[in-house]
Amino acid sequence: MDTTSNAAQPGTPRIVEGRAMRLAGLRERMPNNSPESIPPMWQRFAPYIGTLAAQQGRDCYGVVINGGPGQEMNYMCAVEVSTFNGLPGMLQQLELAPQRYAVFRHEGHVSGVTQTWNAIVHVWLPNSGARPAEAPWVEHYGADFDPQTGFGTIELMVPVNG
């Protein structure tokens, strides 16, 4: 999540109690300010979406692990699975613990997700009184998201304490 460009208004989040989830997908370490690395990962992961026997639903997840301003991060393109058994060897596994999230809806084309993340980090977070939890940040791409057009449900989920 690039934190150097201009921030727009992120809108008001809803607070949700996220459930535990098992995710399977591709995971790579990259500079925090290189969002151009993410679309090629999704292209490499796309052939697995909908083909895994253990896949739960059609939603997809982009997960930011160990990221922060000026740092490197691990990014994972993933789907939810019921079990890690029988997954192709090149897919990584991640278990998300139950977590409270501030959930923001991204409006518009997927190419603007970085700007929405910037608004959350630079506008909402400092003014909200919320403290981010030590947990992955999550991009949720709903079943209606169309990777061909770049439009559909996109939610950005910030783990928060309390």
Architecture of domain 14-145: Alpha-Beta Barrel (3.20)
Tell which residue, 114, 45, 40, 112, has the closest CA to residue 79: 45
d(CA 85, CA 160): 31
Distances from the Cα of 100 to the Cα of 3, 58, 71, 133, angstroms: 23, 23, 24, 9
3-state secondary structure (DSSP) of residue 146:
strand
Note whether 120 and 158 are within 8 A (CB).
Answer: yes
Return the residue matching tokens 């019921």. Answer: 82
In this prediction, residue 17 has a pLDDT band, given cuts at 50, 70 and 90, of: very high
Tell me: pLDDT of 69 over 70: no
Q: Is the pTM of this model over 0.95?
A: no
- For the chain, give the percent of residues with pLDDT over 70: 92
Domain boundaries, the chain: 14-145
User: What local confidence, expressed as pLDDT, does residue 110 receive?
Assistant: 92
